[in-house]
Amino acid sequence: MHPLEPGELYEGYTIDSLLHRGGMADLYRVRCADAARQPDFPLLLKVPRLGSDADGENLVGFETERRVLAALRGAHVPRWFDAGDIARPYLALEFIAGETLEQRLERKLAFDAAALAQTGAAVARALHALHLQGVCHEDLKPANVLLREDGSAVLLDFGLAWHTAQPDLIGAEQRLAGSNAWIAPEQIVGIRGDPRSDIFALGVILYELATGGLPFGNPQSAAGLRQRLWMQPLPPRGRNPAVPAWLQEIILTCLEAQAERRYASAALLAFDLAHPDEVAVGARGNQLRAAGIGAQLARWRARGKYRPSPLPTPAAPPPPIVMVALPHRDVTPAIRDALARAAERSLGTRPGARLACVTVVAPGAVSEAALERRSLHQELLKDLRAWVDGLARAAPTATCHVLEASDVAQALLAYASANHVDLIVLGAATHGLQLQRLIATVPIKVAMHAPCTVVLVKG
Q: Where are the domains positioned within the chain?
A: 9-94, 100-305, 321-457
Average pLDDT over residues 174-191: 88
Give me the architecture of the 9-94 domain, per CATH: 2-Layer Sandwich (3.30)
- pLDDT for 364 equals 60
Supply φ then ψ for residue 423, to 5 degrees. -150, 135
Closest CA to 186 of 253, 257, 124: 257
Q: Which stretch of 176-185, 256-265, 288-297, 414-423 has the lowest confidence by average pLDDT?
A: 288-297
According to CATH, the superfamily of the domain at 321-457 is: HUPs (3.40.50.620)
Using only C-alpha atoms, the chain has a radius of gyration, in whole angstroms, of 25
At 258 the pLDDT is 94
> Residue 224 pLDDT > 50, yes or no?
yes
- The helix/strand count (H/E) of the chain reads as 16, 16
Catalytic residue positions, numbered? 139
276 pLDDT higher than 90: yes
From 429, 420, 431, 428, select the one nearest 453 (Cα to Cα).
420
Structure confidence by residue, pLDDT tens digits, 40-93: 999 999 998 876 555 567 788 888 999 999 999 999 999 999 999 877 889 999
Evaluate if residue 431 carries a pLDDT over 70. Answer: no
The whole-number pLDDT of residue 52 equals 55
CA-closest candidate to residue 326, choices 420, 390, 273: 390
| Residue 323, burial from CB neighbour count under 10 angstroms (0-12, 13-18, 19+) | buried
Does 370 score more than 60 pLDDT? Answer: no
Q: Given this model, what pLDDT does residue 433 score?
A: 42
pLDDT score, position 316: 58
Select from 330, 363, 322 the least CA-distant residue to 429. Answer: 330
pLDDT of 192 above 70: yes
pLDDT in tens, 306-334: 888 888 876 556 678 999 998 877 677 88
- The confidence score (pLDDT) of residue 435 equals 39
Comparison of pLDDT for 291 and 19, the residue scoring more: 19
Mean pLDDT of the chain: 87
CA gap 316, 196 in Å, rounded:
14
Homologous superfamily of domain range 100-305: Transferase(Phosphotransferase) domain 1 (1.10.510.10)
Say which DSSP state 7 is in.
T
More confident of the two residues 176 and 191: 191
- State how far the alpha carbon of 177 is from the alpha carbons of 25, 204, 224, 292, 367, in Å: 17, 17, 16, 32, 58
Maximal CA-CA distance, the chain: 74
